[in-house]
């Protein structure tokens, strides 16, 4: 099999080889879904599979492609970095990491200082360790239905079953339901999982344990789109300040997709630390941790016993940094967000109209260009609401029928859809036509 030259391959042949050489047959096993599709290319708002089918893409590779796939100016920035010998220095300060850091700090006011990683998971791992070093405490609080990466502390089930989750607990905490084998018991004991939008439970844990940080997505965007109730995020920050914990917003999904200043800017809340990824480099691998100067300076503490390690051969890799700089420069233009909002609103209004016409109980939940159609009466406020009210079976059928007709949402219930700058009014019209046809059949 020669990927470069043989474009006549059939998906079955690729599956046979991927199964032979890749554990589980696909890289990153959260991508193991049905139908299995071999994708060949992606441009703008479209995905193309090996069999020649075109899809309007709302999955966007789990959301980074805010400007669309293969954005010309972003690609050109990365290619320029290669042409101009921006080889990986890994030696000292570089111009582009400095420029990127400045753009980030200017875009998000809570970022007094930043460090750059390759992924969101690395950045959340650093945020936890930094918080522990800063506070001298070890326990952490996470939210049920949140995802913060793959490392031990945060690998609890994102979408456990209702049987696993049990009845609503408030104030109180849920058990750590692991999403992975191999997590030490000692690690699980330090992690307290509470419902989103539940300040009483955060306080319940803080009264009982020495909490280093609360790490939460400001909007739950790994179980659809679950918005914070008014005052919730400020309440999290206030509790952190009262009990001496670090308030960390995981903006890997919300950052830059919501607005240039992140969801925190829209909410008007200034967390102590924030973590970004995904849309910041429009698909190039880059993560960011940043926030209050005194906390971030712990990375460079003069006392070796207090200094927090941050390292990584590829941190602030020039190609990815160039892509992030180009992305952030494009996002400075408010017209870009206005155009994405116009397309998103066209889609949301269309979907709401179609669901209403067909008498389908539904809520199109949204945060800017991130959206999710829940098949239930009211927008959920936490995972418990989703598990008890959403029609999971209908959701999966709906996604599968859309995929068959060329509209790609990942075929897993409650996964966020993403609109990009590349989506055209015609793409949205086509999506709505297909949706209407799908709703006639299911
Ligand atoms: C909110 C959130 N945090 C962290 C991560 C981890 O980022 P990465 O996949 O880049 O490691 C993700 C990835 O989906 C995420 O959605």
- The Cα–Cα gap between 205 and 349 comes to 41
- Say yes or no: 327 and 373 in one domain: no
- Say yes or no: 145 and 161 in one domain: yes
Boundary-marking domain end, from 331, 347, 373: 331
- Say yes or no: 183 and 307 in one domain: yes
Q: Indicate if ligand 1 lies below 6 Å from the C-beta of 148.
A: yes
Partners of 226 in beta bridges: 220
Boundary-marking domain end, from 294, 314, 331: 331
224 alpha carbon to ligand 1 midpoint, in Å? 14
Greatest extent of the chain over all pairs of C-alpha atoms, in Å? 67
- Say yes or no: 77 and 134 in one domain: yes
Residue 274 lies in a domain: yes
The answer to whether the beta carbons of residues 431 and 407 sit under 8 Å apart is yes
Q: Indicate if ligand 1 lies below 6 Å from the C-beta of 250.
A: yes
Q: What burial letters (b/e) apply to 136-148, b meaning 16+ CB within 10 Å? A: ebbbbbbbbbbbb
HSE of 246, CA atoms in CB hemisphere, 13 A: 33
Residue 10 lies in a domain: no
pLDDT score for 375: 98
Q: Model pTM?
A: 0.97
User: How many other C-beta atoms are found inside a 10 Å radius of the C-beta of residue 440?
Assistant: 9
Q: Give the atom of ligand 1 at the shortest distance from the alpha carbon of 278.
A: 10
Question: In a 3-state reduction of DSSP, which class is residue 148?
Answer: coil
Number of domains in the chain: 2
Q: Which of 123, 148, 367 to mutate to test the pocket of ligand 1 (most atoms within 8 A of CB)?
A: 148
For every one of its 442 residues, what pLDDT tens digit does the chain have, with 9 covering 90 and above? 555 445 567 899 999 999 999 999 999 999 999 999 999 999 999 999 999 999 999 999 999 999 999 999 999 999 999 999 888 888 899 999 999 999 999 999 999 999 999 999 999 999 999 999 999 999 999 999 999 999 999 999 999 999 999 999 999 999 999 999 999 999 999 999 999 999 999 999 999 999 999 999 999 999 999 999 999 999 999 999 999 999 999 999 999 999 999 999 999 999 999 999 999 999 999 999 999 999 999 999 999 999 999 999 999 999 999 999 999 999 999 999 999 999 999 999 999 999 999 999 999 999 999 999 999 999 999 999 999 999 999 999 999 999 999 999 999 999 999 999 999 999 999 999 999 999 999 9
H or E stretch at 383:
helix 383-389
- Say yes or no: 131 and 240 in one domain: yes
Residue 253 lies in a domain: yes
Instruction: For the sheet with 417-418, list strands across it.
Output: 363-367, 370-374, 417-418
Q: Which residues contact 97 (CB under 8 A, 6 or more apart)?
A: 116, 316, 321
- Say yes or no: 435 and 341 in one domain: yes
pLDDT score for 74: 98
pLDDT score for 398: 98
Residue 23 lies in a domain: no
- Say yes or no: 302 and 314 in one domain: yes
- Say yes or no: 315 and 349 in one domain: no
Residue 277 lies in a domain: yes
- Say yes or no: 302 and 374 in one domain: no
Q: Indicate if ligand 1 lies below 6 Å from the C-beta of 416.
A: no
Q: Which of 30, 147, 279, 370 to mutate to test the pocket of ligand 1 (most atoms within 8 A of CB)?
A: 147
- Say yes or no: 137 and 236 in one domain: yes
Segments of 124-190 assigned E as strands: 139-143
User: How many other C-beta atoms are found inside a 10 Å radius of the C-beta of residue 352?
Assistant: 14
Strands 407-408 vs 417-418: parallel, antiparallel or unpaired: unpaired
217 alpha carbon to ligand 1 midpoint, in Å? 10
Dihedrals φ, ψ of 42, to 5°?
-145, 130
Sign of CA dihedral 125, 180, 219, 141: negative
CATH number at residue 368: 3.90.1150.10
Instruction: For the sheet with 407-408, list strands across it.
Output: 39-43, 46-49, 54-57, 407-408
**Omega within 30 of 0 (cis) for the link into 171:** yes
Q: Which two tokens stand for residue 415?
A: 């996964």
Boundary-marking domain end, from 331, 358, 373: 331
The answer to whether the beta carbons of residues 385 and 227 sit under 8 Å apart is no
**Omega within 30 of 0 (cis) for the link into 166:** no
Q: Whose CA is nearest to atom 13 of ligand 1?
A: 149
pLDDT score for 86: 86
pLDDT score for 9: 79
Quote the domain boundaries for residue 101. 72-331
- Say yes or no: 208 and 288 in one domain: yes
Q: Which two tokens stand for residue 132?
A: 């522990």
CATH number at residue 203: 3.40.640.10
Q: Indicate if ligand 1 lies below 6 Å from the C-beta of 280.
A: no
Residue 4 lies in a domain: no
Residue 12 lies in a domain: no
Report H helices in 160-210.
Answer: 162-165, 185-189, 199-208
Q: Which two tokens stand for residue 288?
A: 């960011």
Segments of 243-379 assigned E as strands: 246-250, 273-276, 287-291, 363-367, 370-374
- Say yes or no: 125 and 206 in one domain: yes
Partners of 57 in beta bridges: 408
Residue 25 lies in a domain: no
Q: Indicate if ligand 1 lies below 6 Å from the C-beta of 149.
A: yes
């Amino acid at each position: 099999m020669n990927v470069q030259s043989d474009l006549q391959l059939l998906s079955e042949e690729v599956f046979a080889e991927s199964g032979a050489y890749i554990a589980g047959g696909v890289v990153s096993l959260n991508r193991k879904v049905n139908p299995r599709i071999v994708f060949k290319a992606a441009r703008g708002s479209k995905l193309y599979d090996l069999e020649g089918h075109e899809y309007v893409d709302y999955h966007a590779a789990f959301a980074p492609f805010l400007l669309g796939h293969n954005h010309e100016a972003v690609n050109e920035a990365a290619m320029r970095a290669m042409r101009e010998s921006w080889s990986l220095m890994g030696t000292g300060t570089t111009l582009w990491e400095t420029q990127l850091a400045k753009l980030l700090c200017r875009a998000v006011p809570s970022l007094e200082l930043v460090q750059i990683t390759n992924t969101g998971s690395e950045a959340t791992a650093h945020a936890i360790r930094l918080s522990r070093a800063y506070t001298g405490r070890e326990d952490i609080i996470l939210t049920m239905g949140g995802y913060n990466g793959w490392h031990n502390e945060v690998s609890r089930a994102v979408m456990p079953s209702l049987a696993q989750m049990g009845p609503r607990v408030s104030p109180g905490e849920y058990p750590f339901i692991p999403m992975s084998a191999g997590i030490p018991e000692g690690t699980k004991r330090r992690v307290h999982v509470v419902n989103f939008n539940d300040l009483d439970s955060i306080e319940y844990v803080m009264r009982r344990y020495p909490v280093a940080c609360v790490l939460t997505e400001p909007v739950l965007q790994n179980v659809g789109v679950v918005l914070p109730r008014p005052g919730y995020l400020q309440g999290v920050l206030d509790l952190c300040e009262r009990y001496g914990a670090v308030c960390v917003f995981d903006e890997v999904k919300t950052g830059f997709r919501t607005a240039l200043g992140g969801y925190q800017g829209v909410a008007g809340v200034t967390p102590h630390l924030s973590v970004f990824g995904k849309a910041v480099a429009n698909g190039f691998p880059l993560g960011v941790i940043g926030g209050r100067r005194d906390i971030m300076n712990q990375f460079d503490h003069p006392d070796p016993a207090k200094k927090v390690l941050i390292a990584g051969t590829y941190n602030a890799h020039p190609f990815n940094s160039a892509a992030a700089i180009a992305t952030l420069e494009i996002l400075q233009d408010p017209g870009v967000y206005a155009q994405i909002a116009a397309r998103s609103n066209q889609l949301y209004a269309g979907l709401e109209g179609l669901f209403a016409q067909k008498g389908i109980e539904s809520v199109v939940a949204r945060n800017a260009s991130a959206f999710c159609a829940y098949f239930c009466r009211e927008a959920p406020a936490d995972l418990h609401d989703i598990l008890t009210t959403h029609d999971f079976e209908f959701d999966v059928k709906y996604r599968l029928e859309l995929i068959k007709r060329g509209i790609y949402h990942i075929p897993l219930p409650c996964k966020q859809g993403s609109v990009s700058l590349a989506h055209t009014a015609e793409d949205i019209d086509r999506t709505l036509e297909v949706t209407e046809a799908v709703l006639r059949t299911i």
